């Protein structure tokens, strides 16, 4: 398989910079259903990108491909200049082995809808487990970092609690601290408020706003919270049928969408 040349239709980036995430003609099917359809998609370093669109449009599949939870059927994915599912050997691209996947995936953190905390571990250990066992951070250093992150997300008094003793909003904030502890270059957020009671949504969105405002980290946010997307994102991408149907700054997408599908989706969502 020859090394691919640059796509002349891809987004342009400032001289000397490359996208932190790039999908090139990525296709993923589940049975007869095509969820990603030769997707071309890029995220710039430090960019906060909100992904919106109807159910089944492929939004979450993008995140799951990046986390290597779902393997694409064809196409190429790069993260921070490295192929994710391939490895370069001379002028060939060969399928990646597990060691390569783990190494590239270290650059990516993800916060899921349903928290995915370890129920048998106290909060502090939930946050330190990855840095200690994946990154090789000394335990004392990992615990100091975890303490700082738990303070940052407003849970400095919950070190010794088990997840079962926390509210949904608190669990999600622990999950955010756990993902940040791995110091990823790209953070993925998959509908992180959808499993929360309405009164708990604000506390989690507040933490995400804070992270977006202060960090150099790229953020890829799948969300149905249109107000949040408008406030936080540098770019909003509307997905439909496994492809980018429209993209642009929030002011453009929410005020003057050009694509009929975008218009219909936003009308339905905003009037709901």
pLDDT digits (tens, 9 = 90+) for 250-263: 999 999 999 999 99
CA distances from 156 to 5, 120, 148, 159 (A): 49, 19, 8, 7
pLDDT score of 12? 54
DSSP state of 259: S
pLDDT, tens only, 210-245: 888 887 899 999 998 898 898 889 999 999 989 999
User: In which band, very low, low, confident or very high, does the pLDDT at 158 lie, cut at 50, 70 and 90?
Assistant: very high
Residue bearing the bigger pLDDT, 265 or 13? 265
Say how far apart CA 251 and CA 195 lie, in whole Å: 28
Say how far apart CA 10 and CA 22 lie, in whole Å: 10
Please give the backbone phi and psi of residue 161, each rounded to the nearest 5 degrees, phi first.
-85, 150
pLDDT score of 9? 39
CA distances from 232 to 12, 209, 211 (A): 22, 6, 10
pLDDT score of 3? 41
pLDDT, tens only, 94-136: 999 999 998 999 999 999 888 889 999 999 999 999 999 999 9
pLDDT score of 16? 56
The pairing of beta strand 243-248 with beta strand 21-30: unpaired
Residue 272 has a CB neighbour count (10 Å cut-off) of 7
Q: What six digits make up the tokens of 12?
A: 């342009």
- Segment 24-33 shows an average pLDDT of 94
- Segment 140-150 shows an average pLDDT of 96
Whether 201 has a pLDDT exceeding 90, the answer reads no
pLDDT score of 114? 81
Say how far apart CA 140 and CA 45 lie, in whole Å: 31
Residue entry with tokens 């007869």: 32
Region of 41 on the Ramachandran plot (φ > 0 left; ψ -120 to 50 alpha; else beta): beta
pLDDT score of 6? 40
Q: Is 223 in contact with 238 (CB distance < 8 Å)?
A: no
Look at the pTM and tell me if it is higher than 0.85.
Answer: yes
pLDDT score of 272? 64
DSSP state of 66: H
Give the closest residue to 135 by CA, choosing from 78, 198, 74, 183.
183
Q: Is 125 in contact with 115 (CB distance < 8 Å)?
A: no
- Segment 185-196 shows an average pLDDT of 88
pLDDT, tens only, 1-21: 444 444 433 455 554 578 999
pLDDT, tens only, 39-93: 999 999 999 999 999 988 889 999 999 999 999 999 999 999 999 999 988 888 8
pLDDT score of 7? 42
């Amino acid at each position: 398989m020859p090394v691919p040349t640059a796509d002349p239709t891809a987004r342009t980036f400032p001289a000397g910079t490359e996208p932190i995430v790039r999908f090139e003609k990525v296709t993923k099917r589940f049975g007869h259903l095509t969820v990603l359809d030769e997707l071309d998609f890029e995220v710039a370093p430090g960019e906060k990108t909100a992904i919106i669109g109807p159910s089944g449009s492929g939004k979450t599949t993008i995140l799951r491909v990046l986390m290597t939870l779902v393997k694409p059927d064809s196409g190429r994915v790069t993260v921070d200049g490295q192929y994710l599912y391939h490895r370069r050997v001379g002028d060939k691209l060969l399928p990646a082995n597990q060691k390569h996947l783990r190494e590239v995936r270290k650059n990516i953190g993800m916060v899921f809808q349903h928290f995915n905390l370890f129920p048998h571990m106290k909060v502090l250990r939930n946050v330190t487990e990855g840095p200690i066992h994946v990154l090789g951070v000394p335990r004392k250093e990992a615990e100091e970092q975890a303490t700082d992150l738990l303070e940052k997300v407003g849970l400095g008094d919950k070190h010794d609690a088990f997840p079962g003793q926390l509210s949904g909003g608190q669990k999600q904030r622990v999950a955010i601290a756990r993902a940040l502890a791995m110091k990823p270059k790209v953070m993925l957020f998959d509908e992180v408020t959808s499993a929360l009671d309405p009164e708990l949504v604000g506390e989690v969105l507040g933490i995400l706003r804070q992270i977006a405002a202060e960090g150099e980290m790229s953020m890829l946010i799948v969300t149905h919270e249109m107000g949040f997307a408008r406030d936080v994102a540098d770019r909003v991408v509307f997905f439909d049928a496994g492809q980018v149907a429209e993209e642009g700054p929030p002011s453009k997408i929410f005020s003057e969408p050009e694509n009929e599908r975008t218009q219909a989706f936003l009308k339905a969502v905003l009037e709901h």
